[in-house]
Amino acid sequence: MTGRQASCACGQLRVTCEGEPLRVSICHCLDCQRRTGAPFSMNARFAREAVTRIEGVSRSFTRQGDSGGTVTFNFCPHCGSTIYWELSGVPGVFAVAVGAFADPKFPAPRVSVYGIRRHRWVDLGGLPDLEHLD
């Protein structure tokens, strides 16, 4: 099976994910805005076993999540791109930054989180089946 590969901006940190993601979401929260530098993040969850290869050096950053758990981000120490992270409340799952796949054909998000923080010009009307969560 040929997996998708997510890579940081400089290319030294790479993860390979097999199969289709369990969940693809966008998040408008302010922490995601700060992490990405973009008005929202786009995130794909994979079972940990589906992430078959992690190559390169990473550093991690842990912050408190809203649900009381923690989220630990793994990023490239050279270029700073965050590639994948783990949520203490969702064990056995890796989340991967969709932009790191650099694949415009990546499956569209099915879930939108933190709509209250959405930049008002972001129009999600092209995704009629999108599930909206607080």
Give the residues lining the site for Zn ion (CB under 5 A). Answer: 8, 10, 27, 29, 32, 76, 78-79
- Between 27 and 98, name the residue whose CB sits nearer to Zn ion: 27
**Cβ-based nearer residue to Zn ion, 10 or 19:** 10
Edge-to-edge order in the sheet of strand 59-64: 59-64, 70-75, 82-87, 93-97, 41-47, 23-27, 111-113, 131-133
What the block records as the tokens of 84 is 């994948």
Cβ 63 to Zn ion shortest distance, Å: 11
- Minimum CB distance to Zn ion smaller for 4 or for 25: 25
What is the Cα–Cα distance from 3 to 125, expressed in whole angstroms? 30
Shortest distance, position 22 Cβ to Zn ion, whole Å: 17
Contact 86, 71 (CB under 8 A): yes
Q: Residue 49 Cβ, how far from Zn ion at the closest point, in Å? A: 25
